[in-house]
């Protein structure tokens, strides 16, 4: 791929053809990633080290932590961010290969339809991620986790585990749900903006 294609691709990703799309890029790329990268590490970075059960033994702690966290929240949210970026990245790669200018995307029906489809895919992926987050993490992190240690042949099948900084994690969970909802709203608003531009209610850029 030539440098011009790379430049067109990067410009397309950073400067989508709609105003709301540009705001979505700013929100997604700056606020959401910063929140996850910086605050997420501060809240979840040492969770496994401070997760303790009764009896406080390494094998019990590891077993129960893996049961408590089938996937760590940081990994889940990082995967969510990457996967949600894929539809837009494919579109802008296609536009770069076809030498489609950003201002022309909303002028031709086929380009507009393709772009709307990529936005719709983002919505679907965000909704799926929202549902998976509920299944994996719920809406609240409790201070006590009851772990089934029957597989370790312990005297008692259920043991109590202390979850560190559970209140901070609950706040962080709610924040990530909120970010997902805001992103979906922005995507819906972007489709609405495109429709208004196509119908002539708004001037194209």
Mean pLDDT value of segment 30-38: 79
Residue 153 has pLDDT above 70, yes or no: no
Domains and CATH numbers, the chain: 3-10+20-204 (1.20.1440.80)
Is pLDDT above 90 for 27? no
Going by pLDDT thresholds of 50, 70 and 90, the confidence category of residue 134 is very high
At a CB cut-off of 8 Å and minimum separation 6, what does 25 contact?
13, 14, 15, 16
**Pair type for strands 144-148 and 52-53:** unpaired
Residue 14's pLDDT is 55
Residue 2 has pLDDT above 60, yes or no: no
Helix (H) or strand (E) holding 170: helix 166-199
29: pLDDT strictly greater than 90: no
Report the pLDDT value the prediction gives residue 6, as an integer from 0 to 100.
57
Q: Which residue has the tokens 């706040």?
A: 171
The 10 Å Cβ neighbour count of residue 89 is 14
Give pLDDT, residue 125: 93
> What proportion of the chain, given as a percentage, has pLDDT over 90?
12
Integer angstrom CA distances of residue 66 from 6, 31, 69, 90? 41, 30, 5, 35
As a residue count, the chain comes to: 205
CB distance 18 to 187 below 8 Å: no
The rounded mean pLDDT for the chain is 81
pLDDT in tens, 47-76: 888 888 888 788 888 888 888 988 888 889
Higher pLDDT among residues 95 and 180, named by residue? 180
User: How far apart (Å, rounded) are the C-alpha atoms in residues 56 and 51?
Assistant: 9
pLDDT at 205: 47
Contact 105, 95 (CB under 8 A): yes
Lowest mean pLDDT among 21-30, 151-160, 187-196: 151-160
pLDDT in tens, 108-128: 778 788 888 989 999 999 999
The model's pLDDT over 156-198, given as tens digits with 9 standing for 90+, comes to: 678 888 988 889 889 989 988 998 998 899 989 988 888 887 7
What's the CA gap between 105 and 8, in Å, rounded?
A: 13
* Dihedral of alpha carbons 87, 194, 34, 13, sign: positive
Residue 123 is predicted with a pLDDT of 93
Residue 46 host element (H or E): none
């Amino acid at each position: 791929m030539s440098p011009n294609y790379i430049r067109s691709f990067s410009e397309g990703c950073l400067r989508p053809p709609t105003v709301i799309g540009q705001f979505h890029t700013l929100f997604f790329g700056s606020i959401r990633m910063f929140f996850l990268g910086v605050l997420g590490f501060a809240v979840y970075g040492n969770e496994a080290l401070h997760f303790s059960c009764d009896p406080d033994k390494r094998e019990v702690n590891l077993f129960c932590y893996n049961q408590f966290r089938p996937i760590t929240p940081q990994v889940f949210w990082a995967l969510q961010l990457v996967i949600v970026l894929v539809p837009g990245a494919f579109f802008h790669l296609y536009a770069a290969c076809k030498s489609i200018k950003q201002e022309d995307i909303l002028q031709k029906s086929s380009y507009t339809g393709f772009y709307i489809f990529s936005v719709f895919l983002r919505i679907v992926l965000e909704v799926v991620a929202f549902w998976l987050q509920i299944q994996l993490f719920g809406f609240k992190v409790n201070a006590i986790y009851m772990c089934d240690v029957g597989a370790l042949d312990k005297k008692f099948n259920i043991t109590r585990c202390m979850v560190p900084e559970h209140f901070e994690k609950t706040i962080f969970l709610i924040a990530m749900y909120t970010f997902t909802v805001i992103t979906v709203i922005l995507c819906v608003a972007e489709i609405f903006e495109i429709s208004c531009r196509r119908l002539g209610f708004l001037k194209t850029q």
